[in-house]
Amino acid sequence: MTDLKLPTDKDIEEYKHYRRIELEMNQGLVAKLPQKAIEECGKKLGILKGKTLYLDENDSSVFMDYCFHHFRINKANVIERELAITSFDKDSIEFNVLKSMAMAYYSVFFVKQVVKGKGVLVIYLLYQDELFVIDVGLAQTGMENFIFSGHLLPFKDFYMTSGTLPIPFELLQNDTIASILSKFIDEDSDDHLSNAKETSFASQIIRSVLRYDGERAEMIYNEV
């Protein structure tokens, strides 16, 4: 068992409040994404054919999360643009949530331990750091040795995730994920990836998973 401090009941209640606010903000951000964002992000993830998005309903939140963080106009994504013009008081919870969304970073995480009702202890695979993520959903459905990708939102007392995507075991067995990670790991750096590198990293991970899921679903359909 790690000696990392686990979240308190107060932290969990705060997390639930922050999560509700984040979901409300996401609904507002959708309306502020230009059509170009949907098209460009769809192409990068390999799910846009012509003018049609081929996306499972269960993965729509992953796609929108990618659009929020990785489609940029003049080097700023929609979250950063919203933060620059927001009317929220800087001491408000809403501002704190929006600021953390703007500071989020993408990675692949290995679940080392599940703590029921609280979240998961993970290893941040790019730098082999351990941290505890509050996530009630993963605390219920996650398993040890489970691997997922997504954005990590840093708050003062805890971390939470957005756009989480389970990594199929087969993509670990065939070294698809390992080969992507190897291209971006810099063992001599403690800094996060640049915006351009993080966008490339996220797109390669998500595209690999969505392609595998699509091929798997097609194979099952053809067998029926």
Residue 191 has pLDDT above 90, yes or no: no
Q: What is the pLDDT of residues 120-173, one digit of tens each?
A: 999 998 888 899 999 988 888 878 889 999 999 999 889 999 999 999 999 999
SS (H, E, C) the chain: CCCCCCCCHHHHHHHHHHHHHHHHHHHHHHCCCCHHHHHHHHHHCCCEECCEECCCHHHHHHHHHHHHHHCEECCEEHHHHHHHHCCCCCCCHHHHHHHHHHCCEEEEEEEEEEECCCEEEEEECCCCEEEEEECHHHHHHCCCCCEEEEEEEECCCCEEEEEEEECCHHHHHCCHHHHHHHHHCCCCCCCCCCHHHHHHHHHHHHHHHHHHHHHHHHHHHHHC
The pTM score is 0.91
Q: What is the pLDDT of residues 14-66, one digit of tens each?
A: 999 999 999 999 999 999 999 999 999 999 999 998 888 988 888 999 999 99
